[in-house]
């Protein structure tokens, strides 16, 4: 890993800026001397055991020779038998050696084999119901959170707690709240990447777990804040939004027009066939905002009924963000959407806004209602507006 840090273009700038090369080299030296010491211990142990067994084996082998020669000398067995036995011993020794060597390599492999089998033993925790319901087309009422709480498996802190609200069919909701307030967790639950630890999520009055998982994945589109920057071509990077359509260049171009990525792509040397990322020698690295437009195009690759965008525009300049959301509103008319953003200029466009705090739902309402209420939303909005004045 430390070698990787030194060798990757993603990390190079931080390593330089923070002057980390000495720290990383030291860390690498410490770790490699630890690995060296551990390997040495193992090698010594193995050699000691190997040598003892070899000595034992040789002693047995030559002992047997001495024994049969002595037997021949006193005339208990004939020279013919002696020759035969000596030949057999030699063969037997060869066989035993092969068996031991095999055993050694099998035992070495078995260490990894156990991991391998453990990996295949892992059962998915999110599964489709035995008799799944077809996903409603169209969604009639919407998604209802009924006192939902969620804890991550490796944590005993509630990431979401006591959350109740309804995302009506066709409604656009924005989630706001401080870092760690539970916004991303809430949309992960909505997209059924996790099931709630307590409470229920209903879709048109029926538990989300009852619906066909494959259909749900098609009907709900999510772009996460930490979306993946694939070291592949532009068109493949967009096609991952709906990999069944990876050959559909018309759809890929349309999607990129909708996310406003198209003009930027047209300027690349190989346009849609341009390799992205620095791993390939003709690859090009994009800016954060350019990557975000590419990622956003993934959302338009499928005709989902619910679109979830988790800070999709954080790296966009103000004009680009404004255009993206104008267009988003047009393109998703009649569809449901959940937007997460720290920019109130974006947030205020939503039909309703939910303010999360420490995993709980603090306030809910339209921009005007929440300003009227003069609570946390109004306070945060005021803070941001002050920054722009
Ligand atoms: N995979 C995980 N495992 C354990 N805890 C997690 C995991 N992901 C998030 N958390 C915790 O859950 C809480 C809520 O995190 P979440 O990512 O939902 O916040 P957020 O509101 O999206 O924050 P941000 O504005 O920084 O994106 C945090 O306390 C976080 O530490
Ligand atoms: Mg988040």
**Ligand 1 proximity of 159 Cβ (cutoff 6 Å):** yes
**Per-residue pLDDT tens digits for 167-215:** 999 999 999 999 999 999 999 999 999 999 999 999 999 999 999 998 8
Residue 268 per-residue DSSP state? S
- Nearest residue by C-alpha to atom 3 in ligand 1: 152
Q: Which residues lie near ion ligand 2 (Cβ < 5 Å)?
A: 184
**Ligand 1 proximity of 154 Cβ (cutoff 6 Å):** yes
H helical segments located in 260-354? 262-266, 288-299, 318-331, 344-347
Q: Which CATH superfamily groups domain 142-388?
A: P-loop containing nucleotide triphosphate hydrolases (3.40.50.300)
The Å distance, Cα 64 to ligand 1 centre, comes to 71
- Sign of the Cα torsion 348, 354, 359, 361 reads positive
**356 pairs with which residues across the strands?**
361
Those residues whose C-beta lies under 8 Å from the C-beta of residue 47, and which sit 6 or more positions away, are none
Distance (Å) of CA 68 to CA 54, 90, 313: 21, 14, 87
| Ligand 1 atom showing the smallest separation from residue 342 Cα | 25
The Å distance, Cα 110 to ligand 1 centre, comes to 38
H helical segments located in 220-315? 234-239, 249-258, 262-266, 288-299
**Ligand 1 proximity of 179 Cβ (cutoff 6 Å):** yes
Q: What is the pLDDT of residue 389?
A: 56
At residue 265, the 3 state secondary structure works out as helix
> What are the residue boundaries of the structural domains of the chain, listed by start?
2-121, 142-388
- Nearest residue by C-alpha to atom 1 in ligand 1: 152
- pLDDT band with cut points at 50, 70 and 90 for residue 20: confident
Q: What is the pLDDT of residue 11?
A: 76
Host H or E run for residue 202 = strand 198-203
Closest CA to 343 of 373, 317, 307, 370: 317
- Nearest residue by C-alpha to atom 28 in ligand 1: 180
**Per-residue pLDDT tens digits for 113-127:** 888 888 888 888 888
- Enter the pTM of the model: 0.79
**Per-residue pLDDT tens digits for 129-165:** 888 999 999 999 999 999 999 999 989 999 999 999 9
- Nearest residue by C-alpha to atom 14 in ligand 1: 182
N- to C-terminal Cα separation, the chain: 45
- Nearest residue by C-alpha to atom 29 in ligand 1: 180
- Sign of the Cα torsion 155, 342, 222, 264 reads negative
CA–CA gap between residue 289 and residue 283 (Å, rounded): 18
Those residues whose C-beta lies under 8 Å from the C-beta of residue 316, and which sit 6 or more positions away, are 289, 292, 293, 324
The Å distance, Cα 141 to ligand 2 centre, comes to 27
Those residues whose C-beta lies under 8 Å from the C-beta of residue 250, and which sit 6 or more positions away, are none
- pLDDT band with cut points at 50, 70 and 90 for residue 23: confident
Host H or E run for residue 158 = strand 158-168
Q: What is the pLDDT of residue 135?
A: 92
- Nearest residue by C-alpha to atom 16 in ligand 1: 182
Indicate the average pLDDT of the chain.
88
DSSP track, 343-382: -HHHHTTSSEEEEEETTEEEEEE-HHHHHHHTSHHHHHHH
For 275-289, what is the mean pLDDT?
86
Q: What is the pLDDT of residue 5?
A: 59
- pLDDT band with cut points at 50, 70 and 90 for residue 17: confident
**338 pairs with which residues across the strands?**
173, 308
Pocket probe for ligand 1: among 181, 356, 358, the residue whose CB has the most ligand atoms within 8 Å is 181
The Å distance, Cα 384 to ligand 2 centre, comes to 19
């Amino acid at each position: 890993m430390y070698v990787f840090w030194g060798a990757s273009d993603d990390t190079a700038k931080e390593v330089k800026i923070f002057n980390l090369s000495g720290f990383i080299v030291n860390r690498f030296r410490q770790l490699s001397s630890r690995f060296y010491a551990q390997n040495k211990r193992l090698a010594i142990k193995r050699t000691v055991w190997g040598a003892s067994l070899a000595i034992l084996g040789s002693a047995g082998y030559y002992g047997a020779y001495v024994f049969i020669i002595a037997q021949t000398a006193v005339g208990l067995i004939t020279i013919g038998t002696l020759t035969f036995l000596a030949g057999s011993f030699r063969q037997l020794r060869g066989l035993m050696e092969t068996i031991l060597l095999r055993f050694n390599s099998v035992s070495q492999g078995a260490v990894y084999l156990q991991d391998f089998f453990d990996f295949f033993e892992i059962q998915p925790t999110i599964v489709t119901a035995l008799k799944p319901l077809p996903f409603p087309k169209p969604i009639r009422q919407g998604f209802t959170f009924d006192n939902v709480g969620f804890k991550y498996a490796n944590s005993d802190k509630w990431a979401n707690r006591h959350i109740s609200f309804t995302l009506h069919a066709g409604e656009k909701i924005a989630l706001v709240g401080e870092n760690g307030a539970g916004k991303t967790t809430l949309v992960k639950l909505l997209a059924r990447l996790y099931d709630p630890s307590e409470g229920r999520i209903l879709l048109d009055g029926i538990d989300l777990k009852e619906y066909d998982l494959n259909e749900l994945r098609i009907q709900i589109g999510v772009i996460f804040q930490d979306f993946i920057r694939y070291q592949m071509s532009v068109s493949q990077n967009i096609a991952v939004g709906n990999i069944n359509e990876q050959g559909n260049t018309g759809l890929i171009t349309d999607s990129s027009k909708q996310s406003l990525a198209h003009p930027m792509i047209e300027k690349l040397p190989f346009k849609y066939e341009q390799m992205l990322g620095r791993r390939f020698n003709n690859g090009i690295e994009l800016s954060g905002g350019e990557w975000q437009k590419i990622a956003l195009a993934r959302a338009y690759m499928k005709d989902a009924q619910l679109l979830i965008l988790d800070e999709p525009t954080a790296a966009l300049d103000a004009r680009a963000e404004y255009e993206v959301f104008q267009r988003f509103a047009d393109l998703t008319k009649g569809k449901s959407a959940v937007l997460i953003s720290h920019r109130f200029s974006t947030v205020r466009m939503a039909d309703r806004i939910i303010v999360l705090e420490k995993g709980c739902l603090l306030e809910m309402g339209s921009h005007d209602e929440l300003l009227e209420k003069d609570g946390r939303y109004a306070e945060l909005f005021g803070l941001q507006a002050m920054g722009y004045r």
